[in-house]
C-alpha cells in the first residue's frame, strides 16, 4: 500500500473535489481518497501493485483534471525527492503563470463588458426617456458588435465553462463550471435564435429582448472573481514559501583543513561548518568553537537572540548575529528541524477539518440539485406565468430565472470557506513557533475547556539544581553524594541530571553501578560493589518498608523542593533536595488561560507538598500529585468521562501516552526534537505563553471558518429564490443574471479576503 499526497491540476470549484474523489475511489486498488480544493491536493491510499499515481492521473484526465506526477515518475524519483529536486517553489511559479494568463483574459474581458454595460444602460435609460436614443450609427454598430463580443466571451474567455458543459454531456459529471456554462450558453443561444429568426418569432415572443449582455457580463465577472480568488489564494499559502526561503543555499565547510563553500544540501553529518557574522545556519548541529547570539525567531518565534556557546545546539534556517563560530552538522537534509516544520505545515494545511464535511456534502449534491431547481423554475414560469403574463413575458422571465439560478448557485465559496482559513491559521501558527499537526486538531483545540500540564519542563524550567541535603548516616556527605550521583548517572531524569552535574562540579567520584533499574514514577535502584542502594521518593520508601522522619522534609517540600531519598536495604541514608525554578512566563500564561475560560490542572509524579507549592505560585486551579506514569493517562480519561475536552501539555518524553489520550496533546519542544508523534500541537522553544497563543489561534481560525461558511451559504440561500423569481408575484422582484454573476464572484472573493484578514490579527 502507498499513501500519497498528489497535487491536482485543473480544479475549479469544490464540487470538482467530490467528482475526483468519486472517480478515484471507483478505481481498482484505491482504498481511500480525500481531495482538498483549498490546497488542490488528493490524499490517496492505494495498492501500489495494482495502480500508480500515473495511472490514477489517467483516470481523472477525461474529467478535465490531472495529477502533477508524470515528471517525478518519469525521472524515477518519489514525489518527495522530486519536490526537493524542484525546490518546491516550482508549483508556485506555475500558479503565477496561470495567474498571468487569467490576467490577460480579464484585461480583454473587462473592457468588452464595459461596452456591453454601456449599451445596455443607455438602452434602459432611453426607454424611460431619461436619455435620448443612441445615435443611429452607434446603435447600428453595437447591434452587430454585441453578438460578436458575446460569442468571443462565451467561446474564448468562457472556455472552461463550455468544457464543463461538454463534460456534463459526455460523462454526466457536473460542477460549478457546468452551471456557468449552461447558463451563459443558453442565454447566448436563445439570443442568436431570436436575432436570426426575428421575423418568424415576432408573432410569438418579444424579439427585442436578447441576452447577449448576460453572457458577456457574467463570463467577465466570474472570470474576474476567479482571478481575484486565485491571487488571494496564493497569498494564503505564503507561510510555506517564507519557511522555504529560510533554507540557506550554501554552507562554508572545513574539509581537509580548507574552507570550501558547498551547496547546503551536500553537507554531511559530522561536517564542520563555519558561520560568519550575519550568516544563515545551513543545517542542524552542535557548536564546537566560538560563541555568538543567534536569532531563532524565524523558527521558534522567540524574539530575543539566544546565546550560543560550545555544546549548544543550533538549527537550520536561523540567523547568526555578530559573532562567528564553528559547529558540527548533526542533522542534514530532510532531517533538520526546519524540514520537519515545513513538512508538518504542508501536511496540516492540506488536511481537512471535520467542520468541512458539511460543506463537502452540500457541494457534492449541490450541482445536480441546482440544475433541477433551475429547470423547475423555467417550467413553472412557462406553465403558471404564461397564463397570467402571457407567453412572451413568461418566457423571458423564465429564461432570466433559469440563467440567474445557474449563475448564482455555484458552491465555489462554500468550498473555499474552510481550507483557506485553515491554510492561513496553520501558517500563522508556524510563524509563532506553534506547529499544528492537522486541521482536525485545530478544530478540537477550539473546544478545549481544560488544560492539564506536566510540572517539570512545562511549568518549571526542567533544569533542577541540588539545593541541600540531610545526612542520616555515619558516612561523610561527600561519600553519600557519590553513591547517589553514581546511581543517577545511569538515568536520564531531570533530577538525575541535577545530581550528576553537582557531583561533577565538586569533583565527587562517580562509581560503576551494576544491576541498575528504573522504578517508574518512584526512583532508581542499583548495586555499587556488593551494596544495593535505592534513590527516589517517599513512595519508594513505603514500598521498601523503610521508615524515616517525613516531617523533616516538609519544610523543604512546602517550599517547592523535590526530595530524593537515598537508602540501602537497612535504612535511609540521606535526603537530598533539588529545586527547579519556575518558568518566568508561567504565572501570566495561566492567568490568561483562566481569562479565556479554561481550567488548569497540574499533573505530576512529584511530591504532593512540592506540587501544591508550585501550583500556588503560578495560580493553577487543581493538582494531581504523586501520580504514577501509567496513571497519568487514566487521570485524563477521568476528566474526559466528565465531559471535559482536555488538552495535555507535556515535555513529550515520558508523557507520550497521556498526550495521546488527551483530546489535544501539546508537546513543549526544546531544542531540536519536534517529531513528537503523539502531539497534535508542538510548541517550539517550550514556552507556555505560546499555549495561550495557540488557544487564540484556534479561536481566530474557527471563527474565520464560521464566518466564511455563513457568507458562502447566505449568498446561495438568498440568491437562489431571488433569482428564481419567488418574490416576483408579491413585490415584482427578480434579479438579473448579471447581478447574479456579480454576487457569485463577490461571494468567493469575500470568503478568501476574510481568510486573509486572519493573517493580520495579532495572537
Catalytic residues, by residue number, are 454
Select the binding partner of residue 523 from Mg ion, ligand ADP, none (C-beta < 5 to 8 A, by kind).
Answer: ligand ADP
Q: Which residue has the cell 482504498?
A: 31
- DSSP type of residue 1: -
Task: Give phi and psi for 28, each to the nearest 5.
Answer: -65, 135
Q: Which residues contact 395 (CB under 8 A, 6 or more apart)?
A: 205, 381, 382, 386
In whole angstroms, the minimum distance from the beta carbon of 591 to ligand ADP comes to 23
Select the binding partner of residue 690 from ligand ADP, Mg ion, none (C-beta < 5 to 8 A, by kind).
Answer: none
DSSP string, 583-628: PTTHHHHHHHHHHTT-EEEEE-SS-HHHHHHHHHHHT-SEEE-S--
Closest CA to 23 of 175, 227, 176, 204: 175
Select the binding partner of residue 493 from Mg ion, ligand ADP, none (C-beta < 5 to 8 A, by kind).
Answer: ligand ADP
Maximum Cα–Cα distance across the chain: 123
Nearer CB in complex with Mg ion: 320/456 = 456
In whole angstroms, the minimum distance from the beta carbon of 313 to Mg ion comes to 21
Nearer CB in complex with ligand ADP: 116/456 = 456
Select the binding partner of residue 524 from Mg ion, ligand ADP, none (C-beta < 5 to 8 A, by kind).
Answer: ligand ADP
- For residues 562 and 330, give the distance between their C-alpha atoms in angstroms, rounded to a whole number: 35
Select the binding partner of residue 723 from ligand ADP, Mg ion, none (C-beta < 5 to 8 A, by kind).
Answer: none
Nearer CB in complex with Mg ion: 75/628 = 628
Nearer CB in complex with ligand ADP: 341/573 = 573
DSSP string, 115-173: HHHHHHHHHHHHHTTSSPPPPHHHHHHHHHHHHHHHHHIIIIITHHHHHHHHHHHHH--
Q: Which residues contact 431 (CB under 8 A, 6 or more apart)?
A: 239, 242, 301
In whole angstroms, the minimum distance from the beta carbon of 606 to Mg ion comes to 9
Cβ atoms within 10 A of the Cβ of 74, count?
10
In whole angstroms, the minimum distance from the beta carbon of 494 to ligand ADP comes to 8
In whole angstroms, the minimum distance from the beta carbon of 456 to Mg ion comes to 5
Residue 470 C-alpha cell reads as 540531610
Select the binding partner of residue 491 from Mg ion, ligand ADP, none (C-beta < 5 to 8 A, by kind).
Answer: ligand ADP
Nearer CB in complex with Mg ion: 297/456 = 456
Nearer CB in complex with ligand ADP: 50/558 = 558
Nearer CB in complex with ligand ADP: 368/657 = 657
Select the binding partner of residue 606 from Mg ion, ligand ADP, none (C-beta < 5 to 8 A, by kind).
Answer: ligand ADP
Beta-strand relationship, 306-308 and 272-275 = unpaired
- DSSP type of residue 206: -
Establish how many alpha carbons lie within 13 A of residue 235's alpha carbon, considering only the half-sphere containing its beta carbon.
16
Q: Which residue has the cell 423569481?
A: 725
Nearer CB in complex with ligand ADP: 240/535 = 535
In whole angstroms, the minimum distance from the beta carbon of 454 to ligand ADP comes to 6
Q: Which residue has the cell 489535544?
A: 664
In whole angstroms, the minimum distance from the beta carbon of 683 to ligand ADP comes to 17
3-class SS of residue 317 = coil
In whole angstroms, the minimum distance from the beta carbon of 562 to ligand ADP comes to 5
Select the binding partner of residue 239 from ligand ADP, Mg ion, none (C-beta < 5 to 8 A, by kind).
Answer: none
Residues that bind ligand ADP (CB under 6 A): 454-456, 488, 491, 493, 495-496, 521-524, 535-537, 562, 564, 604-606, 629, 654
CA triplet 547, 553, 558: central angle to 5 degrees? 135
- For residues 204 and 42, give the distance between their C-alpha atoms in angstroms, rounded to a whole number: 52
Cβ atoms within 10 A of the Cβ of 380, count?
16
Burial of 222 (0-12, 13-18, 19+ CB in 10 A): buried
Nearer CB in complex with ligand ADP: 12/561 = 561
Nearer CB in complex with Mg ion: 456/481 = 456
Residue 576 C-alpha cell reads as 537530598
CA triplet 456, 602, 651: central angle to 5 degrees? 35
Residue 196 C-alpha cell reads as 436570426
Nearer CB in complex with Mg ion: 456/556 = 456
Closest residue to ligand ADP using C-beta atoms: 605
Select the binding partner of residue 535 from ligand ADP, Mg ion, none (C-beta < 5 to 8 A, by kind).
Answer: ligand ADP
- For residues 691 and 648, give the distance between their C-alpha atoms in angstroms, rounded to a whole number: 11
Closest CA to 538 of 606, 455, 631, 452: 606
- DSSP type of residue 382: I
- For residues 469 and 553, give the distance between their C-alpha atoms in angstroms, rounded to a whole number: 10
Closest CA to 698 of 635, 751, 640, 761: 761
In whole angstroms, the minimum distance from the beta carbon of 5 to ligand ADP comes to 36
Residues that bind Mg ion (CB under 5 A): 456
In whole angstroms, the minimum distance from the beta carbon of 435 to ligand ADP comes to 23
Select the binding partner of residue 444 from ligand ADP, Mg ion, none (C-beta < 5 to 8 A, by kind).
Answer: none
In whole angstroms, the minimum distance from the beta carbon of 536 to ligand ADP comes to 4
Amino acid at each position: 500500500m502507498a499513501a500519497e499526497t498528489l497535487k491536482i491540476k485543473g480544479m475549479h470549484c469544490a464540487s470538482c473535489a467530490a467528482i475526483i474523489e468519486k472517480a478515484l475511489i471507483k478505481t481498482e486498488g484505491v482504498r481511500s481518497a480525500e481531495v482538498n480544493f483549498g490546497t488542490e491536493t488528493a490524499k490517496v491510499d492505494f495498492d501500489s501493485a495494482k495502480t500508480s499515481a500515473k495511472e490514477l492521473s489517467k483516470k481523472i484526465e477525461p474529467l478535465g483534471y490531472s495529477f502533477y506526477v508524470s515528471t517525478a515518475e518519469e525521472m524515477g524519483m518519489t514525489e518527495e525527492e522530486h519536490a526537493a529536486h524542484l525546490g518546491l517553489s516550482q508549483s508556485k511559479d506555475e500558479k503565477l503563470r496561470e495567474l498571468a494568463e487569467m490576467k490577460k483574459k480579464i484585461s480583454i474581458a473587462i473592457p468588452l463588458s464595459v461596452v456591453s454595460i454601456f449599451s445596455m444602460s443607455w438602452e434602459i435609460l432611453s426607454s424611460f426617456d431619461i436619455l435620448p436614443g443612441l445615435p443611429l450609427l452607434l446603435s447600428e454598430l453595437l447591434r452587430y458588435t454585441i453578438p460578436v463580443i458575446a460569442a468571443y466571451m462565451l467561446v474564448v474567455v468562457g472556455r472552461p465553462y463550455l468544457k464543463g458543459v461538454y463534460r456534463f454531456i459526455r460523462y454526466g459529471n457536473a460542477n460549478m463550471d457546468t452551471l456557468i456554462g449552461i447558463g451563459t450558453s443558453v442565454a447566448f443561444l436563445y439570443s442568436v435564435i431570436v436575432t436570426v429568426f426575428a421575423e418568424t418569432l415576432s408573432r410569438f415572443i418579444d424579439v427585442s429582448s436578447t441576452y447577449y449582455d448576460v453572457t458577456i457580463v457574467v463570463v467577465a465577472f466570474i472570470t474576474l472573481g476567479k482571478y481575484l480568488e486565485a491571487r488571494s489564494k496564493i497569498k494564503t499559502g505564503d507561510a510555506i514559501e517564507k519557511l522555504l526561503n529560510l533554507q540557506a543555499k550554501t554552507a562554508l565547510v572545513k574539509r581537509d583543513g580548507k574552507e570550501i563553500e558547498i551547496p547546503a544540501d551536500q553537507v554531511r553529518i559530522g561536517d564542520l561548518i563555519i558561520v560568519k557574522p550575519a550568516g544563515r545556519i545551513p543545517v542542524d548541529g552542535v557548536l564546537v568553537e566560538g560563541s555568538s547570539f543567534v536569532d531563532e525567531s524565524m523558527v521558534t518565534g522567540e524574539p530575543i537572540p539566544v546565546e550560543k556557546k560550545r555544546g549548544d545546539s543550533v538549527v537550520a534556517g536561523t540567523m547568526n548575529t555578530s559573532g562567528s563560530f564553528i559547529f558540527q552538522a548533526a542533522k542534514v537534509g530532510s532531517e533538520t528541524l526546519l524540514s520537519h516544520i515545513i513538512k508538518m505545515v504542508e501536511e496540516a494545511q492540506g488536511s481537512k477539518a471535520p467542520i468541512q464535511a458539511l460543506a463537502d456534502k452540500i457541494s457534492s449534491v449541490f450541482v445536480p440539485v441546482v440544475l433541477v431547481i433551475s429547470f423547475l423554475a423555467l417550467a413553472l414560469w412557462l406553465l403558471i406565468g404564461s397564463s397570467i403574463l402571457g407567453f412572451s413575458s413568461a418566457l423571458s422571465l423564465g429564461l432570466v430565472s433559469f440563467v440567474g439560478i445557474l449563475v448564482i448557485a455555484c458552491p465555489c465559496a462554500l468550498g473555499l470557506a474552510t481550507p483557506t482559513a485553515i491554510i492561513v491559521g496553520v501558517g500563522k501558527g508556524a510563524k509563532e513557533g506553534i506547529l499544528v499537526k492537522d486541521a482536525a486538531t485545530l478544530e478540537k483545540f477550539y473546544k478545549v475547556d481544560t488544560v492539564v500540564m506536566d510540572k517539570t519542563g512545562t511549568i518549571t524550567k526542567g533544569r533542577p539544581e541540588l539545593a541541600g541535603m540531610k545526612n542520616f548516616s555515619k558516612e561523610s556527605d561527600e561519600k553519600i553524594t557519590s553513591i547517589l550521583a553514581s546511581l543517577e548517572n545511569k538515568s536520564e531524569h531531570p533530577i538525575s541530571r541535577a545530581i550528576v552535574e553537582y557531583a561533577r562540579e565538586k569533583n565527587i567520584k562517580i562509581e560503576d553501578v551494576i544491576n541498575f533499574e528504573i522504578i517508574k514514577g518512584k526512583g532508581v535502584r542499583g548495586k555499587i560493589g556488593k551494596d544495593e542502594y535505592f534513590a527516589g521518593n517517599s513512595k519508594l520508601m513505603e514500598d521498601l518498608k523503610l521508615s524515616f522522619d517525613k516531617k523533616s522534609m516538609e519544610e523543604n517540600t512546602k517550599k517547592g523542593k523535590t526530595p530524593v531519598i537515598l537508602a540501602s536495604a537497612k535504612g535511609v541514608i540521606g535526603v537530598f533536595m533539588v529545586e527547579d525554578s519556575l518558568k518566568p512566563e508561567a504565572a501570566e500564561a495561566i492567568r490568561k488561560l483562566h481569562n479565556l475560560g479554561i481550567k488548569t490542572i497540574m499533573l505530576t509524579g512529584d511530591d504532593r507538598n512540592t506540587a501544591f507549592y508550585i501550583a500556588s505560585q503560578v495560580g493553577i486551579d487543581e493538582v494531581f500529585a504523586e501520580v504514577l506514569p501509567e496513571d497519568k493517562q487514566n487521570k485524563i480519561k477521568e476528566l474526559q468521562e466528565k465531559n471535559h475536552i482536555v488538552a495535555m501539555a507535556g515535555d513529550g518524553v515520558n508523557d507520550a501516552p497521556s498526550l495521546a489520550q488527551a483530546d489535544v496533546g501539546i508537546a513543549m519542544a526544546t531544542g531540536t526534537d519536534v517529531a513528537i508523534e503523539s502531539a497534535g500541537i508542538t510548541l517550539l522553544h517550550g514556552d507556555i505563553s505560546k499555549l495561550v497563543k495557540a488557544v487564540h489561534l484556534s479561536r481566530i481560525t474557527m471563527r474565520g471558518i464560521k464566518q466564511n461558511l455563513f457568507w458562502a451559504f447566505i449568498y446561495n440561500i438568498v440568491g437562489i429564490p431571488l433569482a428564481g423569481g419567488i418574490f416576483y408575484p408579491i413585490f415584482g422582484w427578480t434579479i438579473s443574471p448579471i447581478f447574479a454573476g456579480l454576487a457569485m464572484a463577490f461571494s468567493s472573493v469575500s470568503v478568501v479576503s476574510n481568510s486573509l484578514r486572519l493573517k493580520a490579527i495579532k495572537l
